[in-house]
Amino acid sequence: MAQTGRQRILVLGGGFAGMFAAGELQRRLGTSADIELINEVNYFVFQPLLPEVAAAAISTRDAVAPLRQLLPGVKVRQAQIFDVDLDRRIVTIFQGVQRRYTEVAYDHLVIALGQSVDLSGFPGLADHALTIKTLSDAHKLRNHVIDRLEHADITALPEVKKELLTFTIVGGGFSGVETAGEMRDLITKSLKYYSNIDASEVRILVIEFADRILAELAPSLGEYARTFFERQGIEVMLETGVKEATGTQIETTKGDVIGTRTIVATIGNAPSALVQKMDLPQAHGRIKTDRKMRVENSANVWALGDAALIPLRDDPTERHHWAPPTAQFAVREARTLAQNIEAVFDGREPEDFVYQSKGAMASLGAGRGVAEVYGIRLSGRKAWLLWRMYYLSFVPGFATKIRIAANWILDAVLGRSIVQTGSGSPIGTRYVHYRKGDRIFETGNRADGFYIVVKGAVELTIPGRDGHEDSVQEIGAKGHFGDRVLLGEGLRTGTVRALEATEILVVGAEDFKRIVAAMPVLDDYFDQYFASVYHQSKPGVQI
């Protein structure tokens, strides 16, 4: 039956799948339907370039394009999606500064929410690993690496310097390999400004659980990449997983303990929180659709991209019987999906999604790459040039193409910018994981926060004054330490070590002082605490 009246098509998510779907829908149905896209940020991220942003080859804002510029005619709403009510055909969102609750109605819903990262299976990894999924991840990683170089250049402690100059990438897929290569470029090009760091002190590691890297490509290309990496000084550890991670170490499944203050995790894909709470049929963490990308048992709900499990044949059993979660497929899916919704509007039958991959490629940094296109394998500089040309042609938006090309030219001509634009002091709360024996802080460190033991136990040693013995105290779960931060003291007067694997909640000093000063229950508690433990009264907390 042909639809009548102005239909509302709502696309959730502005990645490759959502952005291209909204654009195709606008092109085909813009005159007869209202197309709206809701996304948490107001820009489309060109994911394959994030490692280059992390390596400062491209400036933060240039790897992305504003959704409004890319999608003329489409209503773009920057908001946080709270829930989907499939019965009432309503999406509830929070928008604006006040995070006002708002309902958005739809006739057809297109789910393109991608995937998120879940590292909870690896103790300490979620607390300490950087990821490279969003623009802000890439920005943070760049600042993190430059910060490590700044610190390594001035530290007087050889062990700390070694940890600072060891960079670990977990996962040897496209994202991990490209991140390792780009990180090496950034460090190599920056070292001339750090006169106290010798190139031989830098260690870059890729840890991969499988027996090869770049498993999506032909074995010969994976082998080329591995050999090239080793020649460039990037170590590849195969058949190795992560057992535990802290702020200064990573322990592998093989039992090696590696001192490192940079861990980048490119593993652990998981459904987004919103998809998890939707009442839709799922498998392998993705929403099950039919071959037409309609969600099973729904007439007006569609899904595509990484969030969707789209069968490529009627009785899928093997992994390759479903569409893989790649940008290449997402863009093709978007086209078919728009055709299918148009078909429904016209009363025609939607069609199955059919597509065969044209190939894949990866940049290895240092102007080298690997590629497999229409069955032809390339490696080295040719593959790298192909990679750049392909992605430049693929980037949506003319202005963004020019900006990226300009970035590449300036980078080649002027060299890397080692500006660290990140923020300084930690604020808010964060969880920190320690292995048995780890030093949490020691006498003379700056008192930067208040520490609460969530799990495990620590030992606090306060040096005795005037010939008295050291005071040693064990603090278990629910206990706290570092409370002298409330006195406004600048330096730690004791040393704390983890007695077992321990999880700590750290509250930023300024935040904690403000809360204690404002809440009588805490102010009273610490008055008593200081009287009984230190035999001194706590002064009124100064903010």
Binding to a copy of itself, residues 74-93 (CB under 8 A): 77-80, 82
* Sole binder of a copy of itself in the list 34, 127, 147, 251 (CB under 8 A): 147
Alpha carbons 220 and 121: distance in angstroms, whole number: 32
How would you class 543 by CB atoms within 10 Å of its CB: exposed for 0-12, middle for 13-18, buried for 19 or more?
Answer: exposed
First to last CA, the chain: 68
In terms of DSSP bridges, do strands 480-481 and 449-455 run parallel, antiparallel, or are they unpaired? Answer: antiparallel
Q: In the block, which residue shows the tokens 């400062």? A: 56
480 lies in the binding site for a copy of itself (CB under 8 A): yes
64 lies in the binding site for a copy of itself (CB under 8 A): yes
Alpha carbons 55 and 260: distance in angstroms, whole number: 19
* Sole binder of a copy of itself in the list 419, 472, 531, 533 (CB under 8 A): 419
Q: How far apart are CB 367 and a copy of itself at their closest, in Å? A: 20
527 lies in the binding site for a copy of itself (CB under 8 A): no
Alpha carbons 347 and 344: distance in angstroms, whole number: 5
90, β-bridge pairs: 85, 105
Interface positions, 116-135, toward a copy of itself (CB under 8 A): 135
Alpha carbons 175 and 131: distance in angstroms, whole number: 10
- How far apart, in Å, are the Cα atoms of 175 and each of 132, 181, 228? 8, 10, 17
Stretch near a copy of itself under the rule CB under 8 A, chosen from 18-26, 283-291, 313-321, 508-516:
508-516
Task: Output 193 or 534, the one with its CB closest to a copy of itself.
Answer: 193
What does the DSSP 8-state code read for residue 193?
A: G
Task: Output 64 or 206, the one with its CB closest to a copy of itself.
Answer: 64
Alpha carbons 387 and 281: distance in angstroms, whole number: 37
* Sole binder of a copy of itself in the list 6, 27, 88, 99 (CB under 8 A): 99
Is 223 in contact with 212 (CB distance < 8 Å)?
Answer: yes
* Sole binder of a copy of itself in the list 421, 471, 493, 537 (CB under 8 A): 421
Q: How far apart are CB 374 and a copy of itself at their closest, in Å? A: 34
Interface positions, 321-350, toward a copy of itself (CB under 8 A): none
Alpha carbons 422 and 419: distance in angstroms, whole number: 9
* Sole binder of a copy of itself in the list 43, 167, 322, 384 (CB under 8 A): 43
194 lies in the binding site for a copy of itself (CB under 8 A): yes
Task: Output 427 or 533, the one with its CB closest to a copy of itself.
Answer: 427
* Sole binder of a copy of itself in the list 3, 328, 357, 420 (CB under 8 A): 420
Q: Which of 178, 191, 187 is nearest to 229 (CA)?
A: 178
* Sole binder of a copy of itself in the list 424, 437, 467, 540 (CB under 8 A): 424
* Sole binder of a copy of itself in the list 34, 118, 216, 448 (CB under 8 A): 448
* Sole binder of a copy of itself in the list 1, 4, 31, 154 (CB under 8 A): 154
Q: Which two tokens stand for residue 37?
A: 């896209």
490 lies in the binding site for a copy of itself (CB under 8 A): yes
Q: How far apart are CB 50 and a copy of itself at their closest, in Å? A: 13
Q: Which of 464, 331, 459, 397 is nearest to 15 (CA)?
A: 331
Is 239 in contact with 210 (CB distance < 8 Å)?
Answer: yes
Give the binding-site size for a copy of itself (rule: CB under 8 A). Answer: 88
Residues, the chain, total? 543
Stretch near a copy of itself under the rule CB under 8 A, chosen from 124-132, 344-352, 386-394, 412-420:
412-420
514 lies in the binding site for a copy of itself (CB under 8 A): yes
Interface positions, 236-265, toward a copy of itself (CB under 8 A): 247, 261
520 lies in the binding site for a copy of itself (CB under 8 A): yes
